[in-house]
Amino acid sequence: MQKETIRQKKIGELIQNELASVFIKIGPEIYPNVMFTIMKVRMSQDLSFAKAYVSVFPVKNQTKVIEAIKKAKKRIKIILSTNLKNQLRRMPEISFFLDDSNEYYDKIDKILKGNTNNPIK
């Protein structure tokens, strides 16, 4: 796997910030009573594709929330491209994925806390 270039990182961060503001505006319409967090946006080398990793709170019904986001993808892309028309020449195709890193960290934390009574020998 190749390392991200500086340009990929900058455009990824730009899209991440704009996606966050889009979800603040239309998030309640996409799925009410849910808080969205855009954890990371990874860009392809040619900057034509973006993978947006979304964290959802509360945790229940995460797959339904991601499906609702995918249904609203066209609307999200239109708003995003309008907001970024002066920064980007072409709007990349965006795919949304569930970010489960918080669950992973929670599992590790529980394992470590469970082993604090048993010192490592």
pLDDT in tens, 63-109: 899 999 999 999 999 999 999 999 998 999 999 999 877 666 677 77
Strand order in the sheet with 49-57: 35-43, 49-57, 93-98
User: In the block, which residue shows the tokens 């970010």?
Assistant: 99
Q: Give yes or no for residue 121 having a pLDDT over 50.
A: no
Q: Give yes or no for residue 116 having a pLDDT over 60.
A: no
Whole-number pLDDT of residue 61? 80
Helix 6-30, helix 73-83: angle, nearest 10 = 130
Strand-strand pairing, 49-57 and 93-98:
parallel
| Domains and their CATH numbers in the chain | 6-114 (3.30.300.20)
The pTM of this model reads 0.80
Question: Within a 10 A sphere around the Cβ of 110, how many other Cβ atoms?
Answer: 10
Whole-number pLDDT of residue 60? 80
